[in-house]
């Protein structure tokens, strides 16, 4: 059964009465896009999706036809943002995207070639599978899965439906990162054997939420979608859902997904043989369920390891940076972040430095930046048959699986033994019980 197929007719009728932008241009009846014109719909445009939507809309040969969000205010702001970005590129008069509340409206349109998914974590895999079943290519933001089972499922779906699925870990398309990691693979620091990743922020307390009436601008039922139903409370939407297990995946999947991907890429490792984690929710006493402090370690069978150091509520930087990765080898160390990299020899002397501006702008989650632009263009060119994905979903989920394993190790309070072939936990039924999640009846994803 496809996701909520039983209720699709009813909800489609409701969505048909959804928001349409004032002055918006309806899609031309029977329109056929030229072979090099890619038509896109964007799901989740309140935050990161706004920036990614602008990036797609401003690429030559790409048109954003739909902006979808359960917050009725968000598509209006996103459409204005897109129009402003197009005007700066002398592309006034481009089609104003249609605003919809139910993303399945986009899937019904045969002219839509690809779907961008930037909604909450619990929607990433279910929405991707529905889009693939509708014959669409998918660009899905990290982590792309809410749990380890979904990490397997989304990869299976991409293979089964034979469509391109790119994960939005845009550093895979950053020229600085590509250059130095290729150099590491070619012996820049000798044998690279250890990577340390970190992220530090000063996030505030989310307090104790109060159950209250759902705002009139929010379709909370559709926002919950595949997740088991919980009452609406006033400290959940738009961002704090990250810290609730029912919808989010914690800081390790929120920001660690980027840094752990860089580390795994640099070391050239695949699946770990052991995962352990320590930490907890230390800084505030509030509704936050995931961890604000976490140190997770992943060991690989070829004598290499990766550590994740996350501090959500204490922003003390490492190496004067709030986030980044150090890759350590026999003959030196590389310090790599979104702005560039520094190469140190074995005496800790700087021997190479590439800074912002040397090759494009540093990555920025909220605006058009060079790496995101390159990542989007790579996805579009792959659809055109001109390129190969820089971050196919299988590669992305190998890294995200580290995040899931770190969370499982932390929640069970013990080290996990991992099968390096299957990637699954061995000899621990309690840990494997956290491999998957429960779904709202009728919303179970299947390939």
For position 127, what pLDDT does the model report? 98
Contacts of 168 (CB under 8 A, 6+ apart): 52, 118, 139, 140, 141, 142, 144, 372, 375, 391
Outline where DSSP puts E strands in 105-146. Answer: 114-117, 137-140
DSSP structural state of residue 171: G
DSSP annotation of 410: H
3 state SS of 330: coil
Query: CATH homologous superfamily for 5-171?
Result: NAD(P)-binding Rossmann-like Domain (3.40.50.720)
Q: Considering only CA atoms, which of 384, 367, 389 is closest in space to residue 58?
A: 367
Per-residue pLDDT, 357:
53
- Return the CATH class of domain 174-208+219-359+393-432: alpha beta
- The boundaries of every CATH 3.40.50.720 domain in the chain are 5-171
Contact 263, 327 (CB under 8 A): yes
Whole-number pLDDT of residue 147 = 98
Strands (E), 26-87: 38-43, 62-68
User: How far is Cα of residue 340 from the mean position of the Cα atoms in its chain?
Assistant: 21
pLDDT in tens, the chain (447 residues): 333 433 332 333 333 333 333 222 223 333 334 457 999 999 999 889 999 999 999 999 999 999 999 999 999 999 998 888 888 776 665 678 999 999 999 999 999 999 999 999 999 999 999 999 999 999 999 999 999 999 999 999 999 999 999 999 999 999 999 999 999 999 999 999 999 999 999 999 999 999 999 999 999 999 999 999 999 999 999 999 999 999 999 999 999 999 999 999 999 999 999 999 999 999 999 999 999 999 999 999 999 999 999 999 999 999 999 999 999 999 999 999 998 999 999 999 999 998 655 544 455 555 567 899 999 999 999 999 999 999 999 999 999 999 999 999 999 999 999 999 999 999 999 999 999 999 999 999 999
The answer, as to whether pTM is greater than 0.85, is: yes
- Helix %, strand %, coil % of the chain (to 5): 35, 20, 45
Q: What are the Cα distances from residue 124, in Å, to 93, 130, 208, 280, 332? A: 32, 10, 27, 26, 38
Q: Please list the residue range(s) of the chain that carry CATH number 3.30.360.10.
A: 174-208+219-359+393-432
383's enclosing H/E stretch is: helix 370-383
């Amino acid at each position: 059964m496809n996701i909520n197929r039983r209720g699709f007719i009813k909800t489609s009728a409701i969505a048909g009465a959804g928001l349409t932008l004032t002055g918006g241009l309806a899609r031309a009846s029977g329109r056929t896009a030229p072979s090099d014109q890619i038509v896109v719909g964007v799901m989740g445009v309140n935050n990161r999706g706004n920036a990614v939507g602008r990036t797609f809309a401003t690429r030559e040969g790409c048109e954003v036809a739909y902006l979808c969000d359960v917050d009725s205010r968000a598509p209006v702001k996103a459409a204005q943002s897109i129009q402003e970005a197009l005007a700066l590129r002398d592309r006034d008069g481009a089609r104003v995207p249609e605003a919809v509340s139910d993303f399945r409206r986009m899937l019904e349109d045969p002219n839509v070639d690809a779907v961008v998914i930037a909604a909450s974590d619990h929607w990433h895999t279910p929405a991707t599978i529905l889009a693939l079943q509708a014959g669409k290519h998918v660009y899905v933001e990290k982590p792309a899965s809410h749990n380890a089972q979904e990490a397997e499922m989304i990869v299976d779906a991409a293979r089964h439906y034979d469509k391109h699925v790119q994960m939005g870990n845009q550093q895979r398309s950053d020229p600085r990162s590509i250059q130095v990691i290729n150099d590491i693979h070619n012996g820049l620091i000798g044998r690279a054997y250890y990577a340390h990743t970190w992220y530090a922020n000063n996030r505030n307390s989310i307090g104790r939420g109060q159950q209250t009436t759902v705002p009139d601008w929010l379709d909370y039922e559709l926002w919950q979608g595949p997740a088991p139903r919980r009452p609406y409370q006033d400290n959940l939407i738009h961002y704090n859902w990250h810290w609730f297990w029912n919808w989010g995946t914690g800081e390790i999947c929120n920001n660690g997904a980027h840094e752990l991907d860089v580390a795994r890429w640099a070391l050239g490792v695949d699946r770990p043989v052991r995962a352990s984690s320590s930490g907890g929710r230390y800084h505030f006493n509030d509704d936050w369920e995931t961890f604000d402090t976490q140190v997770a370690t992943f060991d690989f069978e070829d004598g290499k390891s990766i550590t994740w150091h996350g501090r959500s509520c204490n922003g003390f930087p490492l190496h004067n940076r709030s986030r980044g990765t150090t890759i350590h080898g026999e003959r030196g160390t590389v310090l790599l972040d979104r702005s560039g990299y520094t190469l140190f020899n074995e005496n800790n002397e700087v021997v190479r430095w590439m800074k912002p501006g040397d090759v494009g702008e540093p990555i920025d989650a909220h605006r058009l930046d060079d790496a995101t632009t390159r990542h989007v263009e790579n996805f579009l060119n792959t659809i055109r048959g001109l390129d190969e994905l820089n971050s196919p979903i299988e590669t992305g989920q190998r890294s995200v699986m580290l995040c899931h394993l770190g969370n499982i190790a932390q929640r069970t309070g013990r080290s996990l033994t991992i099968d390096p072939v299957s990637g699954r936990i061995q000899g621990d039924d309690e840990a494997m019980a956290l491999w998957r999640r429960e779904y709202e009846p009728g919303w179970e994803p299947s390939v």
